Structures are given as C-alpha cells and as structure tokens.
Amino acid sequence: MPSFIAYISPTQINALVGGTIDTSHGFAGLSFTAPVEILTAQGRSDPLLVTRQQCCAPGLFRYPAAGGKYVVAQTPDGVFIGPPGLVPGLSTRPARPGEMVTMYGTGFGPTNPPIPPGTAAFAPAVTTYPVLLETDSFMVTPSWAGLIGPGLYQLNVVVPDVPDGDYRFNPRAAASDGADAWITIRR
C-alpha cells in the first residue's frame, strides 16, 4: 500500500502508513507485521523490510539534549518547559504545579472523527482511546488529547501538584505504552 512520506534523511524515513486495524473486538495485542518495500529511481529495496503495525504505539517528542530524556512541552503562551539551560539558545523553565502545558507526540491511535492517512489539513480530532501519562506513583489524564496534523498528536496536561523534581511520564494509549519522557516540576 502506498504511504505518505513525512521525513527523509540519509539514515531515516518517516512514513504515514494507511490502513486501519479492526478493534471492534478489543485492542489488546492487536498488531501485525507488514513487508515494506522502498522504491527509488534506482529500483526496489532488497531485501524487503518488515515492520509491525499496531493500533497504538504512543511516544512523546523529546528534546535531543540530555540524551533525549526530557519531553518537549510548552505553556499556552509559548514558554518552553524543561530544566533551565537544557537546550543552548532556547529559554526553558520548569513546569509549575497547576499550570497547563502542551506536549506533542505520535502513535496515540484512532480519532473521532476518523482522519484518513495522508490527509494534509483537517480540524483537530480527539483520540478514541483514553490517553494516560503514568508515573511511579500517580497517573495524569490529559484534559485533551488528539490529532492536530498528519501523525502529530497534542496532549494538554495540567501539571500535578507534586514536590519539586524530575518526573517520569510513560505515555499509554489503549493497551500500549511508550518510552519514558521526563518533565521538571518546580514551585
């Protein structure tokens, strides 16, 4: 099935793959493998690559600094969240308990209304499965989670009232969880 290319570099290709997974009988463990064939002016890839497609594979975008530990987040007025000095040339500050921050990610699953893969422009669409951010001691439910662009999800999160520190957030959607991302919270 043809896919929509989102990004190409010498070592990486990001593609938005079409198709859907039938989740009418539940979503736990729903995944399958699919062959991937890359066509270029020089011909077809050999051997074929095999990838896994599943209902949800949530991931939060992270700053490349500090080994990719910290989630990319910002306040409604555009202030970037992170430990001070995290990214050279970018002003960052810790999140504050009770404030709203926006996080971005990919792989949070189907939406309502459904958005066909490859659709370039559309109104934001809410995720159909609950999205959670799990930590060692509590869960955070975004006040809104949805698709805002091709393959791009937005999560609006109220920062929990917790002591100062770095907190691990593990994104979850349906029966799938993603890689940990950290956020710095200070009063």
Domain boundary among 36, 54, 72: 54
For residue 14, the enclosing domain spans 4-54
Domain boundary among 54, 73, 90: 54
Residues 33, 94: one domain? Answer: no
DSSP-derived pairing of the beta strands 80-81 and 49-54: unpaired
Domain boundary among 15, 38, 54: 54
Residues 16, 78: one domain? Answer: no
Report helix, strand and coil shares of the chain as percent, to nearest 5. Answer: 0, 45, 50
Where would I find the H helices in 31-163? none
Specify the length of the chain in residues. 187
Distance CA 74, CA 78 (A): 6
Distance CA 94, CA 24 (A): 41
The predicted model scores a pTM of: 0.84
Residues 11, 32: one domain? Answer: yes
Residues 28, 105: one domain? Answer: no
Mean pLDDT calculated for residue range 31-53: 74
Residues 22, 81: one domain? Answer: no
Tokens representing 103?
Answer: 């996080």
pLDDT tens, residue by residue, 113-168? 998 877 777 899 999 999 999 988 889 999 999 999 888 999 999 999 999 999 99
Give the best-scoring range by mean pLDDT among 51-60, 97-106, 108-117: 97-106
Tokens representing 140?
Answer: 């955070």
Higher pLDDT among residues 1 and 77, named by residue: 77
Total number of domains constituting the chain: 2
Residues 89, 114: one domain? Answer: yes
Distance CA 71, CA 58 (A): 13
Residues 157, 91: one domain? Answer: yes
Report pLDDT for 27: 52
pLDDT band at 25 (very low <50, low <70, confident <90, very high): low
pLDDT tens, residue by residue, 44-75? 876 677 777 777 889 999 999 999 999 999 99
Beta-carbon contacts of residue 32 (< 8 Å; ≥ 6 apart)? 21, 52, 53, 54
